[in-house]
Homo-oligomer: A and B are copies of this chain.
Amino acid sequence: MNLTGKMLIGGQAVAGSRKAIQAIDPATGKLLEPAYPGGTGEQVEQACALAWAAFDRYRETSLSVRARFLETIADEIEALGDELVERAMAESGLPRARIQGERGRTCGQLRTFARTVRAGEWLDVRVDSAQPERQPLPRADLRQRHVPLGPVAVFGASNFPLAFSVAGGDTASALAAGCPVIVKAHGAHPGTSELVGQAVARAVAKCELPEGVFSLLFGSGREVGIALVSDPRIKAVGFTGSRSGGIALCQAAQARPEPIPVYAEMSSINPVFLFPAALQARAEALAQGFVASLTQGAGQFCTNPGLVIALQGPELDRFIAAAADGVQRSSAQTMLTPGIFDAYQTGVGALAGHARPVAAGLSAEGPNQCQPRLFTTTARDFLANLALQAEVFGAASLIVQCADGEEIRQVAEHLEGQLTATLHLDDGDLHAARTLLPTLERKAGRLLVNGWPTGVEVCDAMVHGGPFPATSDVRSTSVGTAAIQRFLRPVCYQDFPDSLLPAALQHGNPLQLRRLLDGQREA
């Protein structure tokens, strides 16, 4: 298969005519062919028109047809074989095992959403039967289901070229909900995006769905991205990326005549609290686990542990010494893009201006090499300086030394919203942990005990979300099956004849859903 440098507008490969994006192999700094000219405003329009035309039919596909579509996308991605793996490696600098694992997650995610679609709980069917004899007024027959919001704009993430890109979590959950998707590809991996986009388009064709169910655009966020979010036919947005990028999309969405929801996953430093008994029992082992989580994938995870909080004292000193030792032994790793590398260097420089550097990893030849970094500061300084909470995307972390439990509480309360918060504890720490929990529940979407925040399971119970600025919408998750709920809205049908009702709401319950029927959940 040859990469064409073209977008996919519906089923058609179409060349853009604006400034081209071109991938760079971050390990060598070399440009990768082909170039991808950016889409025009007219091409954004065309993709939106096709998505809109496809919406009414796609949203009423049966549960089995829609599930089969998701599974077909997974099959088609797997059928791309090694070409996809090698292109993703070249465009991201990520090693083969990681890309293969991410491909597995991406396809597994699509199949998990297929199961969720078939189970049908997301329809949230509620029936209140008519009570014609009720006094003083009869009650009508009222039936509720959930319907999809409409076409969704998805912005590919830099750090998951497969699992949070063209056919990643946002796309899978929006398609599962019944929403056509228009992806604005991330400029760092256009070739990977084109390959996966072709796989999705093949699945659309094989499943005989309207072509507008999926389009793939290239171009700049400022032009193509804002045009997409501003189009009246787009009804929701999924984004994973920087805080400034997410906020810009939120503002564009709010400035529309009809504002729409934006699910932007933006910025988190993922505080880790080390409690005294745990530190005393295993400071060195904790340091080892910490460094492994910190440096995994050059630290380029939304859930990277960028902040450690503990009581000062000899146990914490042991942890710091062991962590410093681990960091110093850590190899440099190629970062995803020159832009991310530059931002890491800037962020590390800013940390160095406010906190005490205690360790740096091994240096390496070649471009875009992320050297892990470790800093310490005091609770007092941390509380006085909001800049110490800025996310540094990459393998850098800051240890906050607290004088007492009250300072730990203050640091916790002072935190911005987070994707995760982690507690390392032993039996002797349970009381202190219990005291801190209410604060952490207000601050983060996922709380962990005795683990590390990197590694996000795709399952029913996962929450990859959290208060602003971790995300722009605390009511949601972008990973796991509950992500489907982001793209749905309730509709109530009053006194409809059975023949006009959608299947999910018909009296005979042909989909065999467990409805909430007259206040009782059906068995």
Q: Which residues of A contact B (CB under 8 A)?
A: 56, 60, 101, 115, 121, 124, 126-128, 136-137, 139-140, 142-144, 147, 149-150, 250, 254, 258-259, 261, 417, 430, 433-434, 437-438, 441-442, 444-451, 455, 457, 459-463, 465, 467-469, 472-477, 482, 488-497, 499-500, 514, 516, 519, 521, 523
Contact = CB atoms under 8 A, between A and B. Distances in A.
Copies in the complex: 2
Contact of A457 (B142, B467, B496, B500): B142
Contacts of A140: 448, 451, 457
A465 B488 CA distance: 13
Max count, chain B CB within 10 A of own CB: residue among A127, A437, A444, A465:
A437
Contact of A461 (B482, B488, B492, B523): B492
Contacts of A434: 500
A412 to B, nearest CB: 13
Contacts of A128: 457, 459-462
A455 B134 CA distance: 14
Given A115-B519, A258-B467, A490-B463, A451 B495 contact: yes
Given A56-B438, A475-B488, 15 more contacts: A139-B459, A140-B457, A142-B457, A144-B460, A258-B468, A441-B491, A444-B491, A448-B494, A449-B497, A449-B500, A450-B495, A460-B516, A461-B516, A465-B489, A477-B490
16 contacts: A126-B460, A126-B461, A127-B460, A140-B457, A142-B461, A142-B462, A258-B468, A259-B472, A446-B493, A446-B494, A447-B491, A451-B495, A463-B491, A465-B489, A475-B488, A477-B490
A60 B441 CA distance: 12
Contacts of A476: 490
Contact of A494 (B449, B468, B477, B493): B449
A410 to B, nearest CB: 15
Contacts of A144: 460-463, 482
Contacts of A124: 482
A197 to B, nearest CB: 27
A26 B143 CA distance: 38
A457 B494 CA distance: 10
Contacts of A474: 149, 489
Contacts of A467: 258
Contacts of A448: 140, 494-495
A180 to B, nearest CB: 13
A144 B149 CA distance: 25
Contacts of A430: 497, 499-500
Contact of A482 (B457, B468, B490, B496): B490
Contact of A259 (B250, B457, B521): B250
A489 B460 contact: no
Nearest to A465: B490
A261 B475 contact: yes
Contacts of A457: 128, 139-140, 142
Contacts of A500: 430, 433-434, 437, 449
Contacts of A475: 149, 261, 488-490
Nearest to A487: B475
Contacts of A462: 128, 142, 144, 492
Contact of A514 (B60, B115, B521): B521
Nearest to A482: B490
A519 B126 contact: no
A98 to B, nearest CB: 12
B468 A259 contact: yes
Nearest to A523: B523
Top 6 A-B pairs ranked by shortest CB distance? Answer: A463-B492, A142-B461, A144-B461, A126-B461, A448-B494, A446-B492
Contacts of A455: 137
B254 A449 contact: no
Contact of A254 (B254, B446, B482): B254
A511 B447 CA distance: 21
Contacts of A465: 489-490
Nearest to A247: B259
A257 to B, nearest CB: 8
Max count, chain B CB within 10 A of own CB: residue among A444, A451, A496:
A496
